[in-house]
Amino acid sequence: MNGLIHIPNDWLEEIINLAAERIVIVDRNGIILYINPAYCEFIGTTVEMATGRHVLDVIENSRMHIVAQTGQAELAAVQSINGSEMIANRFPLMVNGELVGALGTVMFRNPEEWLHYQQKIQSLVEELKYYKTRFEKEMKSKYGFNDLIGNSPEFLAAKKLAERVSGSQSSVLLLGESGTGKELFAHAIHSNSKRAAFPFVPINCASIPEHLLESELFGYEEGAFTGAKKGGKKGQFQNANFGTIFLDEIGDMPLSMQSKLLRVLQEKEVQRVGGQKTVPVDVRVIAATHRDLEKMVQEGKFRKDLYYRLNVIKIEIPPLRKRKVDIPIIGTHLLKKVGANFHRYDLHLSTEVIERLQHHIWPGNIRELENVLERAINVLDGKTIEIVHLPLYLRELEDNRQVHQQMRSEVEKDISSPTLMSLKDTVAHAEKQAILHALVVTKGNKQEAAKILQISKTSFYDKCKIYNI
């Protein structure tokens, strides 16, 4: 047969029965040429009794003879047989361009069978819908400019600049200490841009191991390395297509990756690990770091060309210690946010607590303030946060004024009474003065004072107790 392998007729019949449970074939006149046992069992007849008869005499409400005449397929048609609705497909049979008959199959014998199938499919559809919704939610920006809280001049200037450039397509570089809210700014810029309907993909460059960063950003092909997924995987740049990618802690990106990132920004295309072809991407980049990138460029730790590519629009976010006037409004906002997680509402900060918070230097910025308030809510019984609810290191700030006053009185006493003392008393006096001076320098922070004096925290607290400080 022209080199083709011949399949025996009994094989073909078995293949047809396996491919379609219930099947019937008619000629142009509607005469049944073939019907399989499964169909005969379904309608209560036999192959011998059905073959050679007109389809209407065998199958109730059949339209097979019509399809055999018109050549028009009828898909997923509802047909009533034996008082039950079943789902049928009817196809015209064309041989050498000529209509010779029709082929019919029964998909579902009754509504219950269709309902069972529908339930199985529906569960898959619901699962797909869940993951799609979750994916879309996670890939959308969560915050807008209304979530950037503060009225200090420095903060308002940064916020105003971010709003102004949000409609641009240029890269943005966010500079600020850890915990100042750089990611919130990135979310707000994206949500206020023309790309807001497309993905927002945040990546922390410092948290991903160097050997995984390239495949995470650019993806990989199947077999690119041991453990690579079948079919490969898209990188985050492809996931962010037409949207925004936020590269947090860009200053921690290895030099080898910086050159590859620069190529993506210049060529607007990515090449997967282990792949040969490039894939075009349209992505806006917002980068952020707490490091001094200019100094890193001078030291050769950050590529100059990448720095200038990212530094098209630079926004410096002030630390909390430089915007202490915003602490009451930020604190109130965070109380609502954190309190809702504990189902605690209408919480307030006492006047003394606000004053205490404004005296702290906040090395951890807003993130530290949020942690402080969460700790306070955990130990709070009423509605108002008092000094007693604050962590120990914040409660100790009340010693500041006493420390200043005590040191001044001690110094004045030494000047007015230059009394000779024993060596032991002189050493103790000098030690006490050193501790007082360290506390003044650190504004009452005993942990920092202990570090300055290069003694342990335990020893420092013991000496404070001895000298009644």
Give 227-261 as a DSSP string.
TPPTT-EE-HHHHTTTSEEEEETGGGS-HHHHHHH
Answer yes or no: is 121 within a domain. no
Among 318, 335, 354, the domain boundary falls at 318
For 10, 11, 60, 106, the CA distances from 17, given in Å and listed in that order, are 11, 10, 22, 12
Rounded Cα distance, 80 and 88, in Å: 10
Answer yes or no: is 342 within a domain. yes
223 and 182 in a single domain? The answer is yes
Rounded Cα distance, 68 and 102, in Å: 5
183 and 307 in a single domain? The answer is yes
- Domain tally for the chain? 4
Answer yes or no: is 460 within a domain. yes
Answer yes or no: is 140 within a domain. no
Q: Using DSSP, state whether 62 is helix, strand or coil.
A: coil
279 and 340 in a single domain? The answer is no
278 and 359 in a single domain? The answer is no
256 and 108 in a single domain? The answer is no
- Report pLDDT for 467: 80
Answer yes or no: is 100 within a domain. yes
Rounded Cα distance, 169 and 344, in Å: 42
Answer yes or no: is 138 within a domain. no
331 and 254 in a single domain? The answer is no
Among 369, 390, 411, the domain boundary falls at 390
CATH number, domain at 98? 3.30.450.20
Answer yes or no: is 417 within a domain. yes
- Report pLDDT for 415: 44
Q: DSSP letters along 324-384, please?
A: GGGHHHHHHHHHHHHHHHTT--S-EE-HHHHHHHHHS--TTHHHHHHHHHHHHHHT--SSE
Segment (H or E) for 270: strand 269-271
- Report pLDDT for 91: 94
368 and 234 in a single domain? The answer is no
310 and 338 in a single domain? The answer is no
Cβ–Cβ under 8 Å, residues 260 and 214 = yes
171 and 151 in a single domain? The answer is yes
Q: Which domain holds residue 412?
A: 403-466
Residue 347's identity, in one-letter code, is L
CATH number, domain at 372? 1.10.8.60
244 and 377 in a single domain? The answer is no
CATH number, domain at 304? 3.40.50.300
Burial (CB count <10 Å: 0-12, 13-18, 19+), residue 6: exposed
Q: DSSP letters along 15-29, please?
A: HHHHH-SSEEEEETT
Q: pLDDT tens for the chain, 469 residues: list them.
A: 455 567 787 787 777 766 667 899 999 999 999 998 888 888 889 999 999 999 999 999 899 999 999 999 998 887 777 776 778 899 999 999 899 999 998 876 555 665 666 566 566 667 666 665 665 556 677 889 999 999 999 999 999 999 999 999 999 999 999 999 999 999 999 999 999 999 999 999 988 888 889 999 999 988 777 777 777 888 999 999 999 999 999 999 999 899 999 999 999 999 998 888 899 999 999 999 999 999 999 999 999 999 999 999 999 999 999 999 999 999 999 999 999 999 999 999 999 999 999 989 898 999 999 999 999 999 998 999 999 999 888 887 655 545 555 555 554 555 444 455 677 777 788 888 888 878 877 777 888 888 888 888 888 888 888 888 8
Answer yes or no: is 117 within a domain. no
166 and 261 in a single domain? The answer is yes
273 and 178 in a single domain? The answer is yes
CATH number, domain at 457? 1.10.10
- Report pLDDT for 153: 95
